[in-house]
A = this chain, B = another copy of it.
Amino acid sequence: MARISEPTVRRLSHYYRVLDEVAAEGRPVISSHVLAEREGITSAQVRKDLSSFGSFGRRGLGYEVQRLRTEIRAILGLDRRWRVVVVGAGHIGSALLAYRGFGDQGFDVVAVYDNDGERVGQRLGALVVRPVAELSGRDDFELGVIATPVRAAQDVADLLVAAGARGILNFAPRKLRVPAGVALRTVDMTMEFEGLSFALSQPRARRRRRTSR
């Protein structure tokens, strides 16, 4: 299988969500055109994305909604459960813990760690916050979430990797170094705000592409 680009993976997530909606509407089949319309992209893009994983459609007809949904689910690895460790029991960490949506998608938070003595021992949902030092022993998880202050982020990343994390989601506004083979995604809200600030500071002439719509 050829290499899959990151934009393609992001769009797969979107398709998956649209298919959920469409399935709920009871529609049995969807064309690349309709799927594209809901996304604001071209139908060719939809077909290209899907064709890199196989031929899921029927010419002259479109894609069978349930079938395509199942395929994408498998492609994204959502046909299994992932164990997630959250480090940082502050506002973002607790927000993640409280959000049920992740559990529905197959992501189970199995532990929360923090270094703040005040937070350790506290109950957060079904979990009790533990000291970060105890992270070392652990090896029964796949994903780590970094929701700590920025100064601790790289150290926590190293700890997570040492404990066997295969993927990390980082909320600290800093580029992290992780070994090849460990997947890393960063959500940097500060950067998003700054992106908006930039867009609003530009002379209001040119049409920006990704920014609008």
Contacts and interface: CB of A to CB of B under 8 A. Distances in A.
Interface of A: 3-4, 6, 9-10, 12-14, 16-17, 38-40, 75-78, 82, 90-92, 94-96, 98-99, 101-102, 105-107, 142-143, 166-169, 173-175, 177-185, 187-202, 204, 206-208, 210-213
B189 A187 contact: yes
A192 B185 contact: yes
A208 B179 CA distance: 12
Copies in the complex: 2
A27 to B, nearest CB: 19
Nearest to A202: B4
Given A167-B199, A175-B14, A187 B190 contact: no
A29 to B, nearest CB: 22
Contacts of A6: 195, 208, 210-211
